[in-house]
Structure formats: structure tokens, C-alpha cells
Amino acid sequence: MFISFEGLDGSGKTTQIERLHARLEAAGKTVVRVREPGGTAVSERIRSLLLDPDAPIVPRAELLLFSAARAQVCDEIIRPALRSGDVVIADRFFDSTTAYQGGGRGLANPDWLGDFHRFVTDGLVPDLTVYLRLDPETALARRRARSATDDRMEASGQKFFDRVAKAYDTLAASEPERFVVLNAALPVEVLAEAIWRDVRRVDGNLGGARR
């Protein structure tokens, strides 16, 4: 099973991924976690470049760098783990590129990006995508509380994040069978329970497993 988490920075993805990881392991599953960009030696080097606030990366190069890191982690980590029967949890996948570079940067329409993503991942698509929906103003406040400095992506401005949020909403509405949309402002435990219900819906073998 391949699960991806999406949402604005500050939506609480890391917290929910950690909780789901622990719960799956308690249910007897082997879990492999990856983050985007990152997860392999090459992808982590690309990550450092993409988040460097002093790196003058143009939008088209940004899209290609994110996608290069994704291609690497798909081949090195995700596909082998899925072949072994492991559960893979990804902190972002190609939907982030559609939302951030497609919507935020205005680079390409979703149809073109969909074909491009299939090429980059060789057709790999998450079984379930958890979208933690949070309004951009609240997300910004959370990021400010977490850190006084912004990385290169976080410094893109509020209008950029408004466009990203709108793109995420459009994506989720276009693929309701894959996306589960949750209000990221809900209490952590409430969100964790909702996510667990949807994971059990996708993987019926989990049954009544508890933490």
C-alpha cells in the first residue's frame, strides 16, 4: 500500500505521518517513509539546492528538479518497498508539483502535468492521498511559530500559497476516489482517527487493529 500526504507547509503532515507509522507498525506492517524532495543520496542533494534561499532557481528548473528527485526515490526506494509488501508513506508526491509548480508558479495545466508525472514515476500512483486542508493564513501563522526564517519555497509570498491551496482543492475534487480531504485545524487525535479509518478502508487486512 502506498499512502501520500499532501497539504500546505504547516498543515501538520509530519505529526500525522508519525502517528500513522506507529499505528501501522503496531498492526504488524513494515513501513517505509520517504519525504519529497529527498529519500536518496541524490534526492537529498537536490533538496538542499531547492530549499536554499540564496539559490536563484527559475520556475521551470524548479519543476524539473523536484521531478528528478521524485524519479530517483521511486526507483531506489518506493518500488522496491512495494514489491516487498511494505507500506510506503510519502510526505508529498507528484500532487505537490501540480499544486506548487503548476498552481503556485502557473507553469502548466493539470492535464500536461498528469502526463509528465506518469513519465517521471513510470506510472506509480498512491493508493490513498491524505490532503490536510488548511487555509493559507493559518498555515503561515503555524510556519512563523515554528521558525523565524523561511526556506526558498516558504519565502514565495502569500499570493503564491493562495494559488497552491486553490490548486490542491481542485486536485482533490477531480480525484475523489484517491483523495481524502480532512480539516487540518481539527485536533490531532481526531485527525489521526479519521486517517486510520481511511487507511483501513483501503487495506481491509488491517481489520480491527489498534494502537
Q: Is the pLDDT of residue 209 over 50?
A: no
Which residue did the predictor score with more confidence, 56 or 21?
A: 21
Quick one: pLDDT at residue 157?
79
The amino acid at 176: P
Are 4 and 17 in contact by the 8 Å Cβ rule? The answer is: no
CA dist., res. 58 & res. 11, Å (int)? 26
Each residue of 87-140: pLDDT tens digit?
A: 999 999 999 999 999 999 999 888 899 999 999 999 999 999 999 999 999 988
Reported CATH class of domain 2-206 = alpha beta
Quick one: pLDDT at residue 207?
60
Each residue of 156-202: pLDDT tens digit?
A: 778 999 999 999 999 999 999 999 999 999 999 999 999 999 999 99
Q: Is the pLDDT of residue 152 over 80?
A: no
Quick one: pLDDT at residue 210?
41
CA dist., res. 208 & res. 210, Å (int)? 6
Quick one: pLDDT at residue 145?
80
